[in-house]
Amino acid sequence: MNDPFNLLDPDFLQQANAMRVVARRVAPAGRWAEHRSRDRGQGMEFRDYRPYSPGDELKSIDWNVYQRLGRFVVRLFEEMEDLPIYLMPDLSKSMWHEDPPRAITAMKVAVAFASIGLDQHDRVGVLPFSDALDSTVRPTSGRGRLSLIADTMSRAAEKARDNPGGTDLAAALAKLRGLRMREGLLVIVSDFLDPHGIEVMTSELKKTRHRPLLVSITRHSDREPDVHGDIRVRDCETGDMQDVSVTTHVMEQYREAYDAHFQKLQDFARSRQGNFLFLDHELDVMKQLAQLFEGGSFVA
């Protein structure tokens, strides 16, 4: 396949496949995989009993208990099902502003999670976004599907690079919610610098039913820009210009606003038993992702 962004680098994928995503519990109605479902059904591992109810299959009754206690009870087993993983790499204009662009790092993070998920029989969906959500490729499973996912992202990235759109995470999440996909792990990889503001983003994030993993692609200079005196700054998405006199007080206000912005994202992730990770665009991606995988596993 055509791999213009080197998303299928063998060394990178080998490191990814040494890691596992472990779900606390997964939503029912999935397919067999490696995660414990919230359902109790006809799995392999016994978990509990419950009283017999009309309609239960006779083969599920524990006749030994009936002989001892004279009561009909049904054996419950743990179902092992898949964890749907939904990957949302940000391909908006701000993600292409630098050289090399942050969009490539976002795609590498997405491919790492895709590789991990497919390797453990999970369904993986890739949903790139900018001012809209691309839901062309729905969740799929099977190790051989990784090349399809990488190719889908590469095609979307080439299109976005040549004609980038602005960032509208809220609109993308609203469309995701409308797809009514089974509850799973939602991995959003972005700079999270949406011109609509943090309140709009967090308001829409709170409406999602998926467990969030927010990966913020940053650089040290985002919080500590090396600027002084009278400068003119340009919004890399809207093109708007603004004259600014950079003083010590102005820089303090900027850092306070920057910290408050990302603190709200971290607070949201924590409130939903999710995770937040700052990932420096200039450093090794896999070494930073490893922070999530203590002992080789990430608990979602």
Q: Are 183 and 85 in contact (CB under 8 A)?
A: no
Least confident range of 9-23, 43-57, 193-207:
43-57
CA angle 208, 85, 209 (to 5 degrees): 15
Give me the pLDDT at residue 24, please: 55
Alpha carbon 146 to chain centroid, angstroms: 16
> 36: which strand partners?
80
pLDDT at 267 > cutoff 90:
yes
Give me the pLDDT at residue 45, please: 53
Local confidence band at 37 (pLDDT 50, 70, 90 cut-offs): very low
As a whole number of angstroms, the distance between CA 26 and CA 238 comes to 40
Give me the pLDDT at residue 64, please: 80
pLDDT, average across residues 149-153:
92
pLDDT at 35 > cutoff 50:
no
Query: 3-state SS of 25-83?
Result: CECCCCCEEEEEEEEEECCCEEEEEEECCCCCCHHHECHHHHHHHCCCEEEEEEEEECC
Give me the pLDDT at residue 31, please: 42
pLDDT, average across residues 226-248:
90
Residue reference for tokens 């472990």 = 22
As a whole number of angstroms, the distance between CA 223 and CA 225 comes to 6
Query: Which pTM does this prediction carry?
Result: 0.82
Highest mean pLDDT among 51-65, 128-142, 236-250, 275-289: 275-289
Least confident range of 24-38, 142-156, 272-286:
24-38
- Beta strand 124-126 with 85-89 is parallel
Q: What is the mean pLDDT of the chain?
A: 86
Q: What is the CATH number of domain 10-27+83-299?
A: 3.40.50.410
- pLDDT tens sequence across 40-56: 444 445 566 668 777 67
39/163: higher pLDDT: 163
Comparing C-alpha atoms, which of 142, 153, 140, 164 is closest to residue 1? 153
Give me the pLDDT at residue 299, please: 73
pLDDT, average across residues 4-22:
90
pLDDT at 180 > cutoff 70:
yes
Burial 146-162 (b: 16+ CB within 10 A, else e): beebbbbbbbbbeebbe
- pLDDT tens sequence across 72-110: 877 665 555 678 999 999 999 999 989 999 999 999 999
Least confident range of 229-238, 258-267, 269-278:
229-238
Secondary structure letter of residue 59 according to DSSP: G
- C-alpha distances (whole Å) from 29 to each of 32, 81, 85 are 10, 8, 15
Local confidence band at 23 (pLDDT 50, 70, 90 cut-offs): low
Q: Which amino acid is at 285?
A: V
pLDDT at 20 > cutoff 90:
no
Residue reference for tokens 């109790």 = 40
- Cα torsion angle, 7, 156, 95, 266, sign: negative
Least confident range of 88-92, 185-189, 271-275:
271-275
Local confidence band at 187 (pLDDT 50, 70, 90 cut-offs): very high
pLDDT at 38 > cutoff 50:
no
Length of the chain: 300
Angle between helices 102-119 and 146-162 (to 10 degrees): 160
As a whole number of angstroms, the distance between CA 23 and CA 211 comes to 10
Domain boundaries, the chain: 10-27+83-299, 33-81
- pLDDT tens sequence across 128-137: 999 999 988 7
As a whole number of angstroms, the distance between CA 155 and CA 189 comes to 18
Give me the pLDDT at residue 32, please: 41
